[in-house]
Chains A and B, each alone.
Chain A
Amino acid sequence: METILVLAHTETDGSLAKPALEAIGAAKQLGGAFVVGLVGENVQAAANSIASCGAVKFLGATGADFKQPRYATDAAAAEAVCKAAGAAIVIAPATSRWNRVLAGVAHRLGGRADTHVTAVTAANGAVAVNRWYYRQRMEAVLQRTQRPWVIALESGCCEAWKGSAGSAAVEAVAVTLSDACKRTTVTGIHAPAADQQTIRPDAAMLLVAGAGWTKTQPDGKAHIAEAEKHILDFLRLTKASLGSSKSLVDLSGEGQAVLPFMTHLHQIGQTGSTPRHPKGLSTCCHGEEPHTVGWRFVNERRAIDLDPNCGWARGKADVLYIADAFQVMAKVNELLAAKK
């Protein structure tokens, strides 16, 4: 087996997030020896937390410069750690922080990167990865000859490593940073207030709202306030994550009455996200292909729509309820509230 490096970064609190532990899980599953390389302000606590993972060595690029997720410094640190490890295969969690830099890092190292990888396997020592093309429309299994091969592993695809903490000896990796690496400063985070955050990647349930919620209903009127209540009540009662169709979020750009808590970040599909949830419920959304490609990793799917010929009817959902979502969701929320 070739030399494997698991390349991870710490979180702001110095810990390792689940995707990093999944990358360790993936490396272990390949069967060979592996090195862990960590980048962050201080990585000792993180290294200690995975001291028993079986890594032959722990490398660390540390310092205040690596606290913020910034291309120039992250790329320099990742490059230095990869070089120090002499790794042929680099497995890294596909976090937004690493996704920003890994292809650039692979280029610097004279190697290649494959991103959004959903599985890493090894048969007779030959590593192969799975990834999707054309926005989750087709899945490929591929190998490559270029080394180093940087593999960005999507979260939720591999068992996270679990084990006891201990004390790990971390070898420091020196990173040379010029002033040019510090032209950018991360100044903060822009987020809705915690109680108003409706995107919850780890939720068991996804609720998708489509443009139908804002359309004229059989009584000849639109019922935006009611729609808002049904959707938000459901989210509050189930802690589900909220998704949207493109049409619904685009309405705001066109100056129509809209649901104020919906942004482009909620959009699911071709030009939106592809979240991972065990269950998904679609409401007032027609289920067209550019939308449903974003449901690739939603396992159980149900939909409520007035149109019996909507996309969900054509093999995209397990169950389609031909019904008025206003009426059904009001009852669903009533039942959920009664259970509390």
Chain B
Amino acid sequence: MSIAYQIVVCGSIVPDPLQTLEPVTGPTGPALKNEMMLPAVLDPWAGHALFEAAHLAKSAPGSKVWLASLGPKAKLQQVMMTVAQKVPFELVALDGPAGGFTEAADVAAALADAINAIPGLDKSRLLVFGGWESASRGAGATMQIIGERLGIHDQFQGVDKLTIAADGSLEVLERIEGGIHQVSKCAAPPAVLGWATGNLPEPPNNPQVGMMNMRVVMPALQRAKPAKVAAEGVKFASVTLPKQQRDTRIVKDAPAEEIAKEIVEWISKS
């Protein structure tokens, strides 16, 4: 049985992980220093979700992938220039803050509304994908609340693998404690899947796909509605950087035996 899936991937942007981040107090609460200037990337786990979505869509003819993204319009546009080269999708853009100090519940409300407004949405074919956690808030909350708002109660988090069985049911592998996977079988869509790393490498850039996507990306960005995303009810008493610097002792030119002895002594000390 082949289903033409409607796969909506929820994913936004985060600061490039190689950047040094520093918290500051902004007018509405904590924020990052020079937040709008920091180079951004597609949130990594959401990126994996997008690649998995494209892979599934390819194997199920008639399927379509949307990328629902809530972030500052200008930054979204920058990141989409790269992301659009990877896999085919239609962008659903919402204009609002993408920082970590906002409420997952607000983001979820805006995204769920945007998903509901997709023309021709058919829940019997709907798979809502996203990262199981963002690299900003890192809460693992947004996808669950989107599911609740859409009335989808088959939800999976930390997903590394999705296999469609011959009868159309979904076999899902989720990360659980101790480096193992829980295996579940879900009768049929709709379902929410928060992806971990999955199994696919990042697709190479494909300029043709890029050109096709950008035709839709630009108008979507122009249409992007402002989304109300804040942190009402939350009082941040402090946001601090950890004492990161250790006083590193560097051991150079020592024989391997000596180093090994020192390491074994260290291991044995409780």
Genuine A/B complex = yes
Chain A residues whose C-beta falls within 8 Å of the C-beta of B185 in the assembled complex: 184-185, 187
Report the separation of the CA atoms of residues A190 and B242 in the bound assembly, to the nearest whole angstrom.
Answer: 36
Instruction: Please state if A134 and B144 are interface contacts (CB–CB under 8 Å).
Output: no
Instruction: Please state if B155 and A99 are interface contacts (CB–CB under 8 Å).
Output: no
Instruction: Please state if A198 and B179 are interface contacts (CB–CB under 8 Å).
Output: yes
What residue in chain A is nearest B157 (Cβ atoms)? A100
Instruction: Please state if A318 and B248 are interface contacts (CB–CB under 8 Å).
Output: yes
The main secondary structure of chain B at its interface with chain A is mixed
Chain A residues whose C-beta falls within 8 Å of the C-beta of B18 in the assembled complex: 288-290
Instruction: Please state if B140 and A103 are interface contacts (CB–CB under 8 Å).
Output: yes
Chain B residues whose C-beta falls within 8 Å of the C-beta of A96 in the assembled complex: 157-158, 174-177, 182
Task: Kindly provide the distance from the CB of B174 to the nearest chain A CB, expressed in whole angstroms.
Answer: 7
Q: Say whether B154 faces chain A, with CB atoms less than 8 Å apart.
A: yes
Report the separation of the CA atoms of residues A146 and B261 in the bound assembly, to the nearest whole angstrom.
Answer: 55
Q: Which of A23-31, A37-45, A217-225, A331-339 is the contact stretch?
A: A331-339
Q: What 1/0 mask marks residues of chain A from 250 to 284 whose CB sits below 8 Å from any chain B CB?
A: 10011000000001111100111000000101000
What residue in chain A is nearest B240 (Cβ atoms)? A139
Task: Kindly provide the distance from the CB of B188 to the nearest chain A CB, expressed in whole angstroms.
Answer: 7
What residue in chain B is nearest A94 (Cβ atoms)? B140
Instruction: Please state if B250 and A190 are interface contacts (CB–CB under 8 Å).
Output: no
Q: Which of B74-82, B117-125, B208-216, B262-270 is the contact stretch?
A: B262-270
Chain B residues whose C-beta falls within 8 Å of the C-beta of A204 in the assembled complex: 270
Instruction: Please state if B267 and A133 are interface contacts (CB–CB under 8 Å).
Output: no
Chain A residues whose C-beta falls within 8 Å of the C-beta of B137 in the assembled complex: 133
Instruction: Please state if B238 and A141 are interface contacts (CB–CB under 8 Å).
Output: yes
| Known A321-B254, A332-B260; contact A71-B154, beta-carbon cutoff 8 A | yes
| Known A264-B160, A290-B17; contact A95-B177, beta-carbon cutoff 8 A | yes
Identify which of A101, A132, A184 contacts B184 (C-beta below 8 A): A184
Chain B residues whose C-beta falls within 8 Å of the C-beta of A332 in the assembled complex: 260, 263-264
Task: Kindly provide the distance from the CB of B249 to the nearest chain A CB, expressed in whole angstroms.
Answer: 5
Report the separation of the CA atoms of residues A334 and B236 in the bound assembly, to the nearest whole angstrom.
Answer: 51
Q: Which of B2-10, B96-104, B217-225 is the contact stretch?
A: B96-104
| Known A72-B153, A107-B144, A317-B248; contact A142-B236, beta-carbon cutoff 8 A | yes
| Known A144-B235, A332-B264; contact A186-B183, beta-carbon cutoff 8 A | yes
Q: Inter-chain contact count A-B, CB under 8 Å?
A: 274
Q: Say whether A83 faces chain B, with CB atoms less than 8 Å apart.
A: no
Q: Say whether B114 faces chain A, with CB atoms less than 8 Å apart.
A: no
Identify which of A72, A128, A272, A329 contacts B154 (C-beta below 8 A): A72
Identify which of A116, A143, A180, A254 contacts B237 (C-beta below 8 A): A143
Q: Say whether A69 faces chain B, with CB atoms less than 8 Å apart.
A: yes
Q: Say whether A286 faces chain B, with CB atoms less than 8 Å apart.
A: no
Instruction: Please state if A104 and B147 are interface contacts (CB–CB under 8 Å).
Output: yes
Task: Kindly provide the distance from the CB of B218 to the nearest chain A CB, expressed in whole angstroms.
Answer: 29
Enumerate B135-187 residues with CB–CB distance to A below 8 Å: 135-142, 144-145, 147-149, 153-158, 160, 171, 173-187
Task: Kindly provide the distance from the CB of A154 to the nearest chain B CB, expressed in whole angstroms.
Answer: 12
Q: Say whether B15 faces chain A, with CB atoms less than 8 Å apart.
A: yes
Task: Kindly provide the distance from the CB of A333 to the nearest chain B CB, expressed in whole angstroms.
Answer: 9
What residue in chain B is nearest A73 (Cβ atoms)? B153
What residue in chain B is nearest A275 (Cβ atoms)? B179
What residue in chain B is nearest A288 (Cβ atoms)? B18
Q: Say whether B196 faces chain A, with CB atoms less than 8 Å apart.
A: yes
Task: Kindly provide the distance from the CB of A135 to the nearest chain B CB, expressed in whole angstroms.
Answer: 5
Q: Say whether A324 faces chain B, with CB atoms less than 8 Å apart.
A: yes
Q: What 1/0 mask marks residues of chain A from 104 to 126 whose CB sits below 8 Å from any chain B CB?
A: 10011000111110000000000
Instruction: Please state if B251 and A320 are interface contacts (CB–CB under 8 Å).
Output: yes
| Known A143-B237, A324-B256, A331-B260; contact A104-B139, beta-carbon cutoff 8 A | no
Report the separation of the CA atoms of residues A191 and B173 in the bound assembly, to the nearest whole angstrom.
Answer: 11
Q: Say whether A75 faces chain B, with CB atoms less than 8 Å apart.
A: yes
Report the separation of the CA atoms of residues A327 and B139 in the bound assembly, to the nearest whole angstrom.
Answer: 42
Chain B residues whose C-beta falls within 8 Å of the C-beta of A113 in the assembled complex: 139, 141
Q: What 1/0 mask marks residues of chain A from 32 to 53 whose CB sits below 8 Å from any chain B CB?
A: 0000000000000000000000
Report the separation of the CA atoms of residues A145 and B174 in the bound assembly, to the nearest whole angstrom.
Answer: 33
Report the separation of the CA atoms of residues A199 and B175 in the bound assembly, to the nearest whole angstrom.
Answer: 12
Report the separation of the CA atoms of residues A69 and B137 in the bound assembly, to the nearest whole angstrom.
Answer: 25
Given A134-B14, A281-B267, output 8 extra A-B contacts at Cβ < 8 Å: A112-B105, A140-B30, A183-B186, A185-B184, A186-B184, A253-B199, A320-B251, A323-B251
Query: Chain B residues in contact with chain A, CB under 8 A?
Result: 14-15, 17-18, 20-21, 23, 30, 32, 44-45, 100-101, 103-105, 108, 135-142, 144-145, 147-149, 153-158, 160, 171, 173-188, 196-197, 199-201, 233-242, 244-254, 256-257, 259-261, 263-264, 266-268, 270
6 chain-A/chain-B pairs, Cβ below 8 angstroms = A112-B103, A188-B182, A271-B135, A296-B242, A314-B248, A318-B247
